[in-house]
Amino acid sequence: MNDSKGVRIDKFLWAVRLYKTRGLASDACRMNRILVDGSPVKPSRDITGNNIITVRKPPVSFVYKVIMPVENRQPAKLVSNYIEDLTSDAEKAKLVIRQTAPVGYRKKGTGRPSKKDRRIIDKWQTDLGDS
């Protein structure tokens, strides 16, 4: 496909393997987690070459430059022909910190968490990830 013809953003995000399904890509657009050239977009927005796409997957915001739009799902090895990763090392470090963060621990035999315990656990998890 050439640069003059646009491709739907949800289809493109799925095709270059940024999302596992097109539905997940559409949901991300509706939640304003996808920005094209700095502004939030709807799933039906057409993109062309040289657009800058920001994909927010808390806690990291990935930045990509569209080299050539494509609508068919591509093999992982060929994705670099269609997008260029512009994400800073500082953003990628947030992902490493998240993966190495300590996991919650409960003593064996304490049973299920109470409502109060569940609220504390949920608050702890959202503070860790969705900042």
CA distances from 93 to 33, 74, 99, 100, 122 (A): 20, 27, 10, 11, 24
The whole model's pTM is what? 0.73
- Given a cut of 80, whether residue 131 has pLDDT beyond it is no
Q: d(Cα 11, Cα 70) in Å, to the nearest integer?
A: 8
* Domain boundaries defined on the chain: 7-87
Q: d(Cα 78, Cα 81) in Å, to the nearest integer?
A: 6
CATH of domain 7-87: 3.10.290.10
| pLDDT of amino acid 109 | 83
| pLDDT of amino acid 102 | 62
| pLDDT of amino acid 26 | 96
Q: What is the pLDDT of residues 90-124, one digit of tens each?
A: 988 887 766 665 666 777 888 888 899 889 888 88
Lowest average pLDDT, out of 16-30, 53-67, 73-87, 115-129, goes to 115-129
